[in-house]
Amino acid sequence: MTVPQKSARRHTMPGFGLTMGYTVAYLGLIVLIPLAGLFFKTAGLGLEGFWRVVTSPRVLAALRLSFGAALAGAFINVIFGSLVAWVLVRYRFPARRIFDAAIDLPFALPTAVAGIALTALYAPNGWIGRLLEPHGIKVAYTPLGVIIACAFVGLPFVVRSVQPLLEEAERELEEAAASLGASRLQTVLRVLLPTVLPGMLAGFALAFARAAGEYGSIIFIAGNKPLVSEIAPLLITIKLEEYDYAGATAVAVAMLLLSLLLLLAINGLQVWSAGRQRRVA
Amino acid sequence: MRATISESRWVQCLLIGIALLFLAGFLLLPLAAVFTEALRSGWVAYRAAILEPDALSAIRLTLLVAACAVPLNMLFGLAAAWAVSKFEFRGKTLLITLIDLPFSVSPVVAGLVYVLLFGRNGWAGGWLIDHDVHVLFALPGIVIATVFVTFPFVARELIPLMQEQGTDYEQAALSLGASGWQTFWRVTLPSIKWALLYGVLLCNARAMGEFGAVSVVSGHIRGQTDTMPLHIQILYDEYRFSGAFAVASLLALLGLVTLAVKSYLEWRHGDELAATRRH
């Protein structure tokens, strides 16, 4: 009799069948079965038909814009998001809490609202557009506008991924580096950067995934010119309105596959950077 | 020694300056633009834009959709969090990943899957339409699409918190003779109530503001299947800008209230939220 007393008295928690059954049924009905339908529909198109749809010039241009702008937006977010996280964690200044809370604004502001607001700002007669116009910079109704909208929706992801890592970073390490004669810049680049890099990559991945599928914030500012500023999700809605269900589905599957591929690549990068850091340590 | 691990005064000021300028220009300016544009034609026009019948029906529909979708996902979140956090089983990580899946699907694709399912030629659509049940271009479709895009919100707030809490208190209640439901209502629910509110809050904000998925399934029948975000788009496309921004300002207010309550919960009840939410 080696069974410890404590576990002998433990009760089995009730409700496994009920909650598990409900969870799996609800997940299946709302998410998994409908998503599976997407792939069945594409299978009906055949590989050749699928390829014909996704390599048509208009679809290619839309996919390139959606994913290119999402990547560009995510890069902007990594740079400014990390800077913002750094300033919020390390420095004290008036209204810090309010700025900290405002980071989540892109989550809280409905996409359609963000879309028309950004358009109002960056249109040639808007508050910001008016300043850029004389320099020949057009933002609204160009791919640049799409990048701005992507950066807007993705910003909170990077800040919120980097912030906790900076808060937990041990200052002793920085002190050690400094006392060994490293300059401040060296310390930041060689000691701090490796600790927050996983957060930056995670934030990049989340921001990218969100922006690649984004619709509401983008369609107003994009201008939606075919081959120039038309994003992939918009093309899906256009094909649906033309009752081209198979074409819409093919574009959707292409988007899902591309997202998956890029996220796997980023994930690999994360594993690599974590491994590298362990070796250094 | 302290000075060596900090930046010089002017570098600090420079970095703070860049960050705040970026945040002000990138986040706060769009918000200011919404309210300025909304009030451009004055209060009377603002009131009129919000009180016109189509706008009111859009507001009513948005509230109705949220009132259906949020409780559904709340119930699911509670069930999923209970199953995942109180029991050990194989495939748990997979289950958690699948629960988060809707976040990585484009809202338009989410709408599309229901068009394929409930459209006239869809798996379920033909049969349902023959029996006079209309899902697409009607309330049920809008609710289901909203449920899809807000699916993980409650669950992902509760799961990490309830995993941290473990089962000790529930075990104690059970061994003192409480029934399963009593344990849930008296022991579990009080310890997760703030996290639940937090999740419901975020779920609700997204549900009321959802645009892409709803746009695909709604059919845009004015005065009937137009939610607030869709109504904004219609007004905007008709160049009725101040009307569009007036309705948008209501949703922006909802977003601001959400942010304020969220920050309050993090500040006041941070220790009763999941670890990732404690600032």
Q: What is the CATH number of the domain that holds A77?
A: 1.10.3720.10
Residue type for position A110:
P
* Token digits of residue A177: 């580096």
Give A-chain residues touching B83 at CB under 8 angstroms.
Answer: 16, 19-20, 23
Supply the DSSP symbol for B273: S
Contact A34 B113 (CB under 8 A): yes
Q: Read off the pLDDT of each residue in A180-201 and give the average, rounded to a whole number.
A: 87
Give A-chain residues touching B113 at CB under 8 angstroms.
Answer: 34-35, 37-38
CB-CB contact of B214 with B142 (8 Å): yes
Dihedral sign from CA coordinates of B255, B261, B267, B270: negative
* Token digits of residue B53: 């019948």
Q: Does B163 touch chain A (CB under 8 A)?
A: no
CA distance B272 to B188: 12
Q: Is residue A17 part of a domain?
A: no
Contacts with A, B 34-93, CB within 8 Å = 34, 37, 75-76, 79-80, 82-84, 86-87, 89
- Chain B closest-CA separation from residue A238 CA (Å): 10
CB-CB contact of B81 with B199 (8 Å): no
* Token digits of residue A191: 């000691």
Q: Is residue A253 part of a domain?
A: no
| Of the listed ranges A45-54, A69-78, A151-160, the one predicted with least confidence | A45-54
Confidence of residue A3 (pLDDT cuts 50, 70, 90): very low
Cα dist. B147→A22, B142, B151, B206 in Å?
15, 9, 5, 10
Q: Does B4 touch chain A (CB under 8 A)?
A: yes
| Of the listed ranges A4-8, A38-42, A262-266, the one predicted with least confidence | A4-8
Q: Is residue A31 part of a domain?
A: no
Nearest by CB to B215, which of A38, A151, A237? A237
CA distance B247 to B229: 8
Q: What is the DSSP string of B142-204?
A: HHHHHHHHTTTHHHHHHHHHHHHH-SHHHHHHHHTT--HHHHIIIIIHHHHHHHHHHHHHHHH
Interface residue of A10, A18, A30 to substitute, partner B, most B CBs within 10 Å = A30
Q: Report the chain A residue with the minimal C-alpha distance to residue B236.
A: A116
Report the 10 Å Cβ neighbour count for A99: 20
Residue B277: HSE in the Cβ half-sphere, 13 Å Cα cutoff: 26
Which of B26, B227, B3, B253 minimizes the C-alpha distance to A151? B26
Predicted pLDDT of residue A278: 67
Confidence of residue A142 (pLDDT cuts 50, 70, 90): very high
Contacts with A, B 192-231, CB within 8 Å = 202, 205, 208-212, 215-216, 228-230
Q: Is residue A116 part of a domain?
A: yes
Report residue B128: phi and psi, to 5°: -65, -40
Q: Read off the pLDDT of each residue in A9-23 and give the average, rounded to a whole number.
A: 86
Q: Is residue A175 part of a domain?
A: yes
- Chain B closest-CA separation from residue A273 CA (Å): 22
For A68-85, the pLDDT digits (tens) are: 999 999 999 999 999 999
Confidence of residue A6 (pLDDT cuts 50, 70, 90): very low
Place of tokens 């007004």: B235
CB-CB contact of A237 with B108 (8 Å): yes
Which of A107, A112, A225 minimizes the C-alpha distance to A160? A107
CA max distance for chain B: 79
Cα dist. A108→A61, A120, A167, B31 in Å?
31, 19, 24, 11
- Chain A closest-CA separation from residue B216 CA (Å): 7
Contact B83 A171 (CB under 8 A): no
Interface residue of A31, A67, A76 to substitute, partner B, most B CBs within 10 Å = A31
Output helix, strand, coil percentages for chain B, rounded to the nearest 5: 80, 0, 20
Residue type for position A127:
W
How many interchain CB pairs under 8 A, A with B?
274
Contact A11 B87 (CB under 8 A): no
Torsion of CA A173, A178, A183, A188, to 10 degrees: 20
Confidence of residue A12 (pLDDT cuts 50, 70, 90): confident
CA distance A33 to A62: 27
Give A-chain residues touching B105 at CB under 8 angstroms.
Answer: 35, 213, 256
Q: Is the pLDDT of residue A2 over 60?
A: no
Q: Is residue A242 part of a domain?
A: no
Nearest by CB to A236, which of B28, B102, B108? B108
Give B-chain residues touching A42 at CB under 8 angstroms.
Answer: none
CA distance A94 to A279: 41
Q: Is the pLDDT of residue A7 over 60?
A: no
Contact B212 A121 (CB under 8 A): no
CA distance A245 to B112: 9
Q: Read off the pLDDT of each residue in A132-140 and give the average, rounded to a whole number.
A: 91
Q: What contacts A104, CB < 8 A, 6 or more positions away? A: A156, A160, B259, B262
Give the length of chain A.
Answer: 281
Nearest by CB to A114, which of B16, B30, B233? B30
Q: Report the chain B residue with the minimal C-alpha distance to residue A187.
A: B5
Range of the domain at A185: 65-230
Contact B211 A112 (CB under 8 A): yes
For A82-95, the pLDDT digits (tens) are: 999 999 999 999 99
Q: Mind listing the pLDDT tens digit of every residue in chain B (279 residues)? A: 444 567 888 889 999 999 999 999 999 999 999 999 999 989 999 999 999 999 999 999 999 999 999 999 999 999 999 999 999 999 998 999 899 899 889 999 999 999 999 988 888 888 888 888 888 899 999 999 999 999 999 999 999 999 999 899 999 999 999 999 999 999 999 999 999 999 999 999 999 999 999 999 998 888 889 999 999 999 999 999 999 999 999 999 999 999 999 999 998 888 888 766 654
Domain count along chain A: 1
Q: Is residue A50 part of a domain?
A: no
Predicted pLDDT of residue B8: 82
Predicted pLDDT of residue A8: 44
Predicted pLDDT of residue A174: 86
Contact B251 A109 (CB under 8 A): yes
Contact A112 B147 (CB under 8 A): no
| Helix boundaries (H) for chain A | 5-9, 16-27, 33-54, 57-90, 96-102, 105-108, 111-122, 129-132, 143-168, 171-179, 184-187, 193-212, 216-222, 232-241, 245-280
Predicted pLDDT of residue B3: 44
Q: Is residue A183 part of a domain?
A: yes
Q: What is the DSSP string of B47-90?
A: HHHHHSHHHHHHHHHHHHHHHHHHHHHHHHHHHHHHHHHH---T
Q: What contacts A128, CB < 8 A, 6 or more positions away? A: A121, A122, A139, B25, B29
Report the 10 Å Cβ neighbour count for A201: 21
The pTM score is 0.91
